[in-house]
Amino acid sequence: MNDLLAALLLGIIEGITEFLPISSTGHLLIAERWLGHRSDLFNVAIQAGAILAVVLIYWKRLWGMLVAFAGHDAPSPYDPLGITATPAQSRDYALKLLAAFAVTAAGGLLVKQLGWELPDTVRPIAWALIIGAFWMVIAEQLAARRAAREGERTAISWTTALLVGLAQVVAGVFPGTSRSAATIFVALLAGTTSRAAATEFAFVVGIPTMFAATGYELLSLARHGGIGAEDWASLGVAFVASAVTAFVSVKWLLRYIQSHRFTAFAIYRLLFGIALLLLLPANA
């Protein structure tokens, strides 16, 4: 296959799967068996494209939180969840995002130092997909029952924020878990019964988290001379493809969850995980 076409397909796969709760790692692992293994820099670049898409989607809300720190009231479209919020409420939301990121950063560095990370091979990824499918269904059922008892909750508590930060660390340790799935469903279990609110917090906290991870990987590659021999045309194609498809997939998901549960994603994860166990060797 033409190398640019292969890069385009990998960028599209990353863009679609990075923020849907189905694990980008598992999909890219399989795709690279047919489309060719790529450099660490290539993988960093397509992840950066997906992050850029989320920044573009949430830029008004991010700006609203920034102006809130200056004491200004932002119009409702600029506030988290698109609701009217005082500067104090916007600052509170931003501080909880920073707290979640701080937990992730500290936990991530500890994990790196201790070497707590499973290999990117089929069996652990497949089992993470399967276990995650059941976890998604149970978490959403519990959140639905709580919402029926107490009403829909859109607020993000400090406990929720800290647990979301920890969930990002767990997702990094277990490839196939899916960062978005882990954070969304931890938020639902921790008391934010609104799917939209839980999803939005998971996506917004992913911005500093993924930017930091991308910057860390780039610095590591630069120190070890892993940048010079890159195919920049293929990397550029994949970056743009990832950004465009991530933008479309996130926009679609935010509309979809307004009236649908995550059950379809859980079924997909279950079937995909079983297929990986049955069709591919464990050491692939």
pLDDT in tens, 67-87: 888 777 776 666 666 666 677
pLDDT in tens, 9-19: 999 999 999 99
The CA distance from 263 to 240, in Å, is 30
The CA distance from 114 to 223, in Å, is 21
pLDDT of residue 33: 80
DSSP state, 120? S
Report the predicted TM-score, pTM, of the whole model to 2 decimal places: 0.90
pLDDT of residue 7: 92
Listed range (20-29, 185-194, 210-219, 275-284) with the worst mean pLDDT: 275-284
DSSP letters for 249-281: HHHHHHHHTTT--SHHHHHHHHHHHHHHHHHS-
DSSP state, 155? -
**Nearest CA among 63, 73, 102, 56 for reference residue 203:** 56
**Nearest CA among 43, 41, 37, 38 for reference residue 18:** 43
What values do phi and psi take at 35, rounded to 5? -100, -5
- Answer yes or no: is pLDDT of 91 > 80: yes
Q: Is 168 in contact with 205 (CB distance < 8 Å)?
A: yes
Q: Name the range with the highest mean pLDDT among 39-43, 114-118, 192-196, 230-234.
A: 192-196
Residues 6+ apart with CB under 8 A from 27: 13, 16, 17
**Nearest CA among 146, 213, 156, 153 for reference residue 179:** 213
Average pLDDT over residues 145-168: 92
pLDDT: is 44 or 197 the higher one? Answer: 197
